[in-house]
Amino acid sequence: MAQPMSKATRHVSINEGLLFEQSAPGKRGMELPPLDVPPVDAGAALGPEFARRAVEHFPEVSEIEVIRHFTRLSTWNYAIDLGMYPLGSCTMKYNPRVNEFVARLEGLATEHPLQPIELSQGCLRILRALEGVLEEVTGMDAVTLQPCAGAQGEYAGIAIIRAYLADRGNPRKKVLVPDSAHGTNPATAATAGYEVVNIRSDANGRIDLAHLAEYATEDVAALMVTNPNTVGIFEQDIARAAEILHGRGALLYMDGANMNALAGITRPGDFGVDVMHMNLHKTFSTPHGGGGPGAGPVAVKKHFEPFLPFPVLVEKDGALAWDSHRPKSIGRLRAFCGNFGVLVRALAYALAYGPGMVEATRDAVLNANYIRKKLEDVYDLPYRQPSMHEVVFSDARQKKNGVNTVDIAKRLIDYGFHPYTTAFPLIVPGALMIEPTESESRRELDLFVEAMRSIAVEAAETPELVKTAPHSTRVGRLDEVGAARKPVLRWTPPQ
Amino acid sequence: MRYLPKSDAEREALLAELGLASMDELFASIPEPFRLKRPLHVPGPLSEKEIIDYFRARAAENAAGYTSFLGAGVYNHLRSVAADALLQRGEFLTSYTPYQAEISQGTLQAIFEFQTLMCQLTGQEVANASMYDGSTATAEAALMAVRISGRKRLVVSRALHPEYRQVLTTYAAHMDLPIAEAPFDARSGQTDLDALRGTLDQATAAVILQSPNFLGVLEAVPRAGEITRGSGALLVTAVAEALSLGAVRAPAEADIVAMETQSLGLPPSFGGPFAGVIATREKYVRNMPGRLAGQTTDAQGRRGFVLTLATREQHIRREKATSNICTNEALCALAVTMHLALLGKEGLREMAAQNLAKARYALGELEKLSGVRRAFSGPFFNEMAVEFPVSVRMINQHLLREKIIGPLPLGPYYPEQTKRGLLCVTETHSRGEIDRLVAATARALAALGRESREAMPAEAKR
Amino acid sequence: MYPTNYRYTQEHEWVVVEGQTVTVGITDYAQHALGDVVFVELPKPGVKFSAGAVLGTVESVKAVSEIYSPISLEVTEVNAALANAPEKINADPHGAAWMVKGRPTNPAELGSLMDAAAYQAFVAEKEKEEHA
């Protein structure tokens, strides 16, 4: 029999329409101090060719309405502050509040990136400190903090590899990507001008070395690897893979999305990685905020330093400065120096832990293995190698009753949890990819295990209940087909 | 450690359930040679108070207490604390990308509202949920034009923000896209559209203009659009000062708008995080990168929102995706949505009008100083290139002593624009601060005039 | 279920000859595997494709599939109805949801395609593999 739910019950939530539906002429939510210089007529100042009267149909609502609007909307969201996100490869850990406080400090939030360098030393010291932390954690020699997200970091990393190889006479044509890789990996390689060649994982979910040796021809620039890989398993042969690649003049790129399993325990620079990126919104706790902002610093070995994006932070006459004279650089990735506010938060996180960061890594791996142990008798475990910070099950058993991973994930919502990652990695059909992170207490883990075990029972005894889940949310499963066939991407005023 | 919700006893208990003797055994699958045998050499651990002290100390080493007149892509505008209070709600701050629509309706509806506001501001038919920033949005818009047109050449105005131009060069390099430049008119400061016409050919995919441009001058977007489309290319218009759209006509004639929304509710924060957006015509929506929220219904007919047209994106198309973008700037876009909701139609118009007034007041007062004049004659919003009789850098040295950060020297970006600097004046500058700028400039000019009379004329070439 | 006068490819396209022209579409197996079709991208008339070249793509919410030309042809007509009603592909993949008509440039290629019986058997094998 399925267990009654311990974590969640239904509660009343308040309906709320669109901002534009509450708009009425003359209402406003923010007032400005009065103009203390002579007013100027916009039409006269700009001329008829350029002047605009007002933005048509822009909303007009009061402050209280705005507060209620967004507060109500917020109550429709799940969040880390409410409970665990078991999302594999996302590392949904606690977002410390002191990070929010320091990012907002006067003197940090207020600074202009082009202000005199003598008046920016505080900002630059923060950047230098974070670079140092990331160099140490990754075991690499140099870091750029410029990329805005993991995908942009990946792009930079592959571009650096390309520039390095081109500098040696031949950028080469192909990049090898495991079939288990996150979708940004092949998308990135293609954007950087490489042909993507998929290589297969072996029966243990790891890179097939023989396959790699065969595929690592002279026109291969690099292998993009994630370690631990996307089934949560440490690539034990990674140093050997690096040797094979280096022997052919190719390079090893590491997607650092899974650094939460490694920080303080082992370092990519020590096992053969040439270039890698990290996701600060994963390992370094910066908030996801519904989809970003993030930051994707890139760490490289010494010989790749000339190719880093400009500007590069350097020390000059006892102060910090930007160096834009970098003739071999891959170029600038974005205006200004990076997502500074995100970088502040990441440094605050690192300072809170110090060398104790390794405890977080240990707890993350402990939690994932605990979940594995408590669920491996009810869910199919396709790869039996030891798990690191995440575990991947499949829906093979439940499929026999017509219940698939998406159904189970949706039913998990009724139990008060956000779904785990479904249908990824591609090498596991019907995958359930679960990463608890170190932020989960035993109590929350046990509630999760209880929920998953209960759903397994439901899948066997009352599959329809699972297949039509969720049942307790404000809206049921939404018509994604209709949304894609006839996209409605904005509110339009009634005719 | 306060972020770890386990006691040592609880760890022991979990290890026992796993049949392991120690935490180290969890890492048995990592080959021994790779295991770190020492603690990380990183600063910390620090308590909350010590963390705050550290960052306060860094903040004190920056420009707090100075009045800045910088713009050049990052603008100081008033923001309401109400928006920040809302933004800090955990359900927004700590929520994930809204792939699971049933429990992300708050985020998804807010994105839908953001998309709508962006269309209203830019005069375009559809807008996405955000790009990293204005510079990368511009580069992605150019790549989008390449995909749509099937052509491979770009023409860029010389008056595009130099850092945006550098980003475009980076992105274009790996796709083998040649970039040609169209000059700006030395008198008006606008892109020379006749010269532009001359640079276009059948291989041109896009023309990229910024308005207001880096020199602060508004571009003639409708005419640029005609000329561009006349040769079969697309017009990409970049907007770095989004508040200008509260007073300036929307670039509806652009085919693609790439906008930086920082001016609409985000602090300068030393350059980021910001939020870019791409807005375009409906017919190009399947070529547009970035997430999109679409309206739909559930089985009971209730309205809801979902991420849609996902087949453009990396997690499905993989190597054939429109872009590799995954994480975007959702929380920043949400801050913009909240800010615009509070400002509203009238507030936006009024704030923009205050900018027009303050900039013109400042210019008027500065032009009373001998040898100081606006460098270009084209229409402007709140930022102007001002010409001075001496090096801008030297003037700024004097201004700094009075705790004023003066105009951005243009010489480093445009070698012929010596003794000219970009000055931005917004609603955040009081009349008193503007008067102080003018007085300090007058004092600086006087001192520099004296110095140059007394010494060998050794002006820096600015 | 699979029309006997059609020929079939291993990538689940069908082709039928009508006089001087051929008509091409995707099979019932393909539409079922895709799920609800939301969008289809087809070539313009006048374009030539060799056998096996990518003619276009068909999209569901979560996946994109390429459509390969069964034989070498020059496109003469494209089914405009699919632009506004891609769901036809799910409803009537062998009839109303034809995708492209063209002039074959190497008719001998038809001989190497599967007939209805062979395709039926091919599909049955695939379904067995998937449920293994």
Q: Please tell me which residue of chain A has the smallest CA distance to C35.
A: A481
pLDDT at A6: 84
CB–CB contacts below 8 A, A to B:
684
The partner residue sitting opposite B316, judged by closest CB among C38, C39, C62, is C62
| Tokens of residue A293, six digits | 């902002």
Q: Which CATH code of 3.10.129.10, 3.40.50.720, 3.40.640.10, 3.40.50.2300 fits the domain covering A101-355?
A: 3.40.640.10
Q: How many CB atoms lie within 10 A of CB B247?
A: 27
| Tokens of residue B161, six digits | 């923000």
Cβ contacts of A214 within 8 Å, gap of 6 or more? none
Select the residue from B8, B20, B23, B26 to test the A interface by mutation, using most A Cβ atoms within 10 A: B26
Instruction: Return the H-helix or E-strand segment holding A321.
Output: strand A319-323
| Tokens of residue B216, six digits | 């602060």
Residue C2 in domain: no
Select the residue from A489, A491, A492 to test the B interface by mutation, using most B Cβ atoms within 10 A: A489
Q: Which domain holds residue C54?
A: 7-126
The partner residue sitting opposite B101, judged by closest CB among A309, A356, A478, is A478
Euclidean distance between the first and the last CA atom of chain A, given in angstroms as a whole number: 54
pLDDT at A184: 75
Q: How many residues does chain C have?
A: 132
| Contact in structure between A128 and A137 (CB atoms under 8 Å) | no
pLDDT at B53: 98
Q: Out of B299, B314, B339, pick the residue that ends a domain.
A: B339
Sort out which chain B residues have CB atoms less than 8 A from C61's CB and list them: 310-311
Residues B249 and B376 reside in one and the same domain: no
φ and ψ of A277, to 5 deg: -125, 165
Distance separating alpha carbons of residues A270 and A286, to the nearest angstrom: 26
At residue B319, does pLDDT exceed 80? Answer: no
Pick from C43, C107, C54, C114: which is nearest to C80 by CA? C43
Residues of chain A with CATH 3.40.640.10: 101-355
SS3 A105: coil
List, for residues B35-73, the tens digit of each pLDDT value. 999 999 999 999 999 999 999 999 999 999 999 999 999
List, for residues B152-203, the tens digit of each pLDDT value. 999 999 999 999 999 999 989 878 899 999 999 999 999 999 999 999 999 9
Residue C1 in domain: no
DSSP string, A409-445: HHHHHHTT----EES-STTSTTEEEE---TT--HHHH
Secondary structure of C17-33 as H, E, C letters: EECCEEEEEECHHHHHH
Kind of pairing between the strands at B256-260 and B276-280: antiparallel
If one counts the domains in chain C, the total is: 1
Tell me which residue has tokens 């190597």: B319
Residues B280 and B382 reside in one and the same domain: no
Please check whether residue B103 touches A, CB under 8 A. yes
SS3 B183: coil
Q: Name the percent of chain A in helix, strand, coil, to the closest 5.
A: 40, 10, 50
CA geometry: angle at B263 spanning B374 and B118, to 5°?
115
Residues B370 and B334 reside in one and the same domain: no
pLDDT at A493: 94
Tell me which residue has tokens 């994106």: B313
Q: What is the CA radius of gyration of chain C?
A: 14
Strand-pairing partners, residue A222, are A175, A251
Q: Name the percent of chain C in helix, strand, coil, to the closest 5.
A: 25, 35, 40
CATH number of the CATH domain containing B389? 3.90.1150.10
pTM: 0.94
| Contact in structure between A250 and A220 (CB atoms under 8 Å) | yes
What Cα–Cα distance (Å) separates residue C41 from each residue in A191, A270, C44, C87?
22, 48, 10, 13
| Contact in structure between A59 and B345 (CB atoms under 8 Å) | yes
Asked if the Cβ–Cβ distance from C39 to B286 is below 8 Å, we say: yes
Helices (H), B127-220: 134-149, 162-173, 193-199
List, for residues B270-285, the tens digit of each pLDDT value. 999 999 999 999 999 9
List, for residues B322-364, the tens digit of each pLDDT value. 676 677 899 999 999 999 999 999 999 999 999 999 999 999 9
Distance separating alpha carbons of residues B292 and B96, to the nearest angstrom: 15
SS3 A181: coil
Asked if the Cβ–Cβ distance from C64 to B286 is below 8 Å, we say: no
Q: At what angle do helices B105-122 and A63-74 cross, to 10 degrees?
A: 130
Residue B160 in domain: yes
Please check whether residue B425 touches A, CB under 8 A. no
Chains with 3 or more CB pairs under 8 A to chain B? A, C
| Contact in structure between B78 and B263 (CB atoms under 8 Å) | no
Sort out which chain A residues have CB atoms less than 8 A from B133's CB and list them: 148, 334-336
CA torsion sign for A59, A63, A65, A69 is positive
Kind of pairing between the strands at B408-409 and B420-424: antiparallel
Residue C45 in domain: yes
Which amino acid is present at A161? I
Q: Out of B309, B339, B369, pick the residue that ends a domain.
A: B339
Of the candidate ranges A200-204, A413-417, B74-78, B291-295, the one whose mean pLDDT is the lowest = A200-204
Each residue's pLDDT, cut to its tens digit, for chain A (495 residues) gives 677 778 888 878 999 999 999 999 999 999 999 999 999 999 999 999 999 988 999 999 999 999 999 999 999 999 999 999 999 989 999 999 999 999 999 999 999 999 999 999 999 999 999 999 999 999 999 999 999 999 899 999 999 999 999 999 999 999 999 888 877 788 888 888 899 999 988 887 888 999 999 999 999 999 999 999 988 999 999 999 999 999 999 999 999 999 999 999 999 999 999 999 999 999 999 999 999 899 999 999 999 999 999 999 999 989 999 999 999 999 999 999 999 999 999 999 999 999 999 999 999 999 999 999 999 999 999 988 899 999 999 999 999 999 999 999 999 999 999 999 996 777 888 999 999 999 999 999 999 999 999 999 999 999 999 999 999 999 998 999 999 999 999 999 998
Residues B190 and B156 reside in one and the same domain: yes
DSSP string, A57-72: T-----HHHHHHHHHH
Select the residue from A7, A53, A62, A66 to test the B interface by mutation, using most B Cβ atoms within 10 A: A66
Residue C131 in domain: no
CA geometry: angle at A158 spanning A155 and A163, to 5°?
120
DSSP string, A331-384: --SSSSSS-HHHHHHHHHHHHHHGGGHHHHHHHHHHHHHHHHHHHTTTSB-S--
Q: How many residues does chain B have?
A: 462
SS3 C59: strand
Strand-pairing partners, residue C101, are C23, C77
Asked if the Cβ–Cβ distance from A484 to C59 is below 8 Å, we say: yes
Sort out which chain B residues have CB atoms less than 8 A from C63's CB and list them: 311, 316
CATH superfamily for domain A359-480 = Aspartate Aminotransferase, domain 1 (3.90.1150.10)
CATH number of the CATH domain containing C101? 2.40.50.100
Distance separating alpha carbons of residues B393 and B409, to the nearest angstrom: 7
Residues B357 and B430 reside in one and the same domain: yes
Sort out which chain B residues have CB atoms less than 8 A from A109's CB and list them: 267-269
Q: Out of B321, B339, B357, pick the residue that ends a domain.
A: B339
List, for residues B372-389, the tens digit of each pLDDT value. 999 999 999 999 999 999
Q: How many CB atoms lie within 10 A of CB A168?
A: 10
Query: Which string of b and e fits A415-428 if b means at least 16 CB within 10 Å?
Result: bbbbbbbbbbbbbb
Q: Which domain holds residue B255?
A: 81-339
| Contact in structure between A375 and B20 (CB atoms under 8 Å) | no
Burial class (CB in 10 A: 0-12, 13-18, 19+), A36: middle
List, for residues C51-105, the tens digit of each pLDDT value. 999 999 999 887 888 999 999 999 999 999 998 899 999 999 999 999 999 999 9
CA geometry: angle at B287 spanning B282 and B292, to 5°?
70
CATH number of the CATH domain containing B168? 3.40.640.10
Q: How many CB atoms lie within 10 A of CB B329?
A: 32
What Cα–Cα distance (Å) separates residue B442 from each residue in A347, B359, B456?
43, 18, 22
* Chain C residues interacting with chain B (CB cutoff of 8 angstroms): 38-39, 59-64
CB–CB contacts below 8 A, A to C:
14
B314 or A314: which carries more pLDDT confidence? A314
Kind of pairing between the strands at A319-323 and A312-316: antiparallel
Residues B379 and B419 reside in one and the same domain: yes
Cβ contacts of B294 within 8 Å, gap of 6 or more? A483, A484, A487, A488, A489, B112, B305, B306, B307, B308, B309
Residue B460 in domain: no
If one counts the domains in chain B, the total is: 2
List, for residues C106-129, the tens digit of each pLDDT value. 988 988 999 999 999 999 998 887
φ and ψ of A389, to 5 deg: -90, -5
Long-range CB pairs of A266-270 (<8 Å, 24+ gap) are: A266/B27, A266/B30, A266/B34, A266/B35, A266/B36, A267/A137, A267/A138, A267/A139, A267/B34, A267/B36, A268/A138, A268/A139, A268/A140, A268/A227, A268/A299, A269/A138, A269/A139, A269/A140, A269/A141, A269/A299, A269/A301, A270/A139, A270/B34, A270/B36
CA torsion sign for C76, C81, C86, C87 is negative
Q: At what angle do helices B431-454 and B392-401 cross, to 10 degrees?
A: 120
At residue B460, does pLDDT exceed 60? Answer: no
pLDDT at B461: 44
Distance separating alpha carbons of residues C30 and C90, to the nearest angstrom: 9
